[in-house]
Amino acid sequence: MSRLRIAQLRVFIIACVALALTVVGARSASAQQEIWRLDQTASLGNHPTKILGHPQVIDTPIGKAVAFNGVDDALFTDVHPLAGAATWTWEMIFKPDADGKPEQRVFHLQSVDPATGTDFPNERMLFEIRIRNGQWCLDSFATAGGQSRTLLNCDKMHPFGAWYRVTAVYDGKMLRNYVGDEMQGEGELQLPLERPGRASMGTRIDLRDYFKGAIYEARFTRQALDVKDFLRIPAEH
C-alpha cells in the first residue's frame, strides 16, 4: 500500500473516531437534559398532562406560551424530571402578572411513594413568587431526607411586564437561585437524591396558592450549570 494511501486511511480513521465521539457526546448531553416547551397543554415534554381549569395557549412576542388564571388553572404530569439527580439545574422562563395573589406556587416537583401512591411529605422542589409593593421576588425551595433549604430574598425585587428566566442550581453542596443572571441567594444543602414522582405547573400539587401569569419553557439539567450556560429568553418578534 502506498504512503499516500496509508495517510489517507489514517485521516479517514481519525475522522470516523471524531464523529463517533461527537455522536456519543451529543447523546450523553441529551440524556442529561430535558426541555418542556409550553406551546400546548396536552403534554409537558413527552409526558401526558392532567388539566385543571382552563389554562390557555396564548401568542406572545417571544412565541406561544401557556397562561394560568391564578384561580383554578394548572397542569399536572406523572414525572419528577430531576428524580435521582445528584446535581442539577432547574430553569423556567415565565411572565408573572401584577394582579396575582401575594404568595404564589408556580412550579412544584414532588416525590411519590410507589407502594401507596401518596406524596412523600418532605421530598419536593418548588419555584414560588411573592408580591410586595407592586413588584415580585423569587422563592426557591428544596427538601429531601430531612434536609431543606429555602432561598427567599425580597430585598431584590423585580418589576412586572417582562419575561424572566428563573433558575435553581444545586452542585451537591450549595443551592443557589437566580433571576436572569443575577444570584438572589445561596445556602448550604446536603440533599439526598429525590425519588420519582410527579409535577405541577400553576399551583402546588395540593392545590394551594395558584399562579397568575404565563410560562414559556422549562429545562432540567442533571448537572450544575454555570451562568453562561443558562437558558436565554428568545428575542421578541
pLDDT tens digits, one per residue of 24-40:
343 334 459 999 999 99
* Inter-residue long-range contacts of 111-114, CB under 8 Å, 24+ positions, other chains counted: 111/80, 111/83, 111/144, 111/194, 111/195, 111/196, 111/197, 112/80, 112/195, 112/196, 112/197, 112/198, 114/196
Per CATH, which fold does 35-229 belong to? Jelly Rolls (2.60.120)
Q: Burial, 39: exposed, middle or buried (Cβ in 10 Å; 0-12, 13-18, 19+)? A: exposed
User: Average pLDDT, whole number, for the chain?
Assistant: 90
Predicted confidence at residue 4, as pLDDT, reads: 44
Determine the Cα–Cα distance for residues 60 and 53; give it in Å rounded to an integer. 21
Q: Are 222 and 87 in contact (CB under 8 A)?
A: yes
Percentage of the residues of the chain whose pLDDT score is greater than 90: 86
Q: At residue 12, does pLDDT exceed 60?
A: no
Predicted confidence at residue 74, as pLDDT, reads: 98
Predicted confidence at residue 66, as pLDDT, reads: 98
Cell 425585587, located at residue: 157
Predicted confidence at residue 150, as pLDDT, reads: 98
Q: Are 50 and 203 in contact (CB under 8 A)?
A: no
Predicted confidence at residue 2, as pLDDT, reads: 55
pLDDT per residue as tens digits for the range 62-96: 999 999 999 999 999 999 999 999 999 999 999 99
Cell 445556602, located at residue: 187
